[in-house]
Amino acid sequence: MIDQINNNQQTTTYDKGYKWLHWLMAALVILMFMATFGFAQANTDAAKIEMLTGHSSIGSVIFLLFVIRFCKRFIFKSPRPKHELAPLTNVGAKVGHLTLYSLLFYVPVTGYLSARAHELPVYWFGQLNLATLTGYQQSSFEMIRSFHQLGVQTLMVVVVLHIAAAVFHGLVKRDGVFSSMWPDRKTKSE
């Protein structure tokens, strides 16, 4: 009975699980964006292997966190705050979030497939060589890598738009959207 009452109460903030997943994924995705500079500077096979190992390992962690977050949101349907937004803003938020979720699935999957078709060994957490699972195929690698790069570039644009929207809600609108995901905010149950 008490659980039913708690589930029916309107929350004004995301729970700690959502917040941890959000900010940890944000940090890792931004770290991956910065890795593009490391790839550009890797000029030896050893440096490339080191970059690919870190890249594929962090990408795997992002994918695992994505699966947890996806389950939390769409399978377990954890409570989320409802904000009074203009209809067009509400549609934009839904499209933006679904686009983020789609890209957080698409980018790691195409990255994994690209690693499988790569000529250099790609070690997952320094252990499993993903590239030896199928053998090197130049045409497959180039095509899959281009899909992966397009996904990364699209994700960069969507993340910038997401950050801009968050800043707009936090500094201009001050409507509680930004503060509902901010880590310092306490929930009703705390």
Of 53-62, 119-128, 160-169, least confident by mean pLDDT is 119-128
* Dihedral over alpha carbons 95, 96, 97, 102 (to 10 degrees): 80
Strands 128-129 and 123-124: what pairing?
antiparallel
Asked whether the predicted pLDDT for residue 2 surpasses 60, the reply is: no
Asked whether the predicted pLDDT for residue 9 surpasses 60, the reply is: no
Q: Show me where the domains of the chain are located.
A: 12-80+88-173
- What pTM was computed for the model? 0.84
Asked whether the predicted pLDDT for residue 185 surpasses 50, the reply is: no
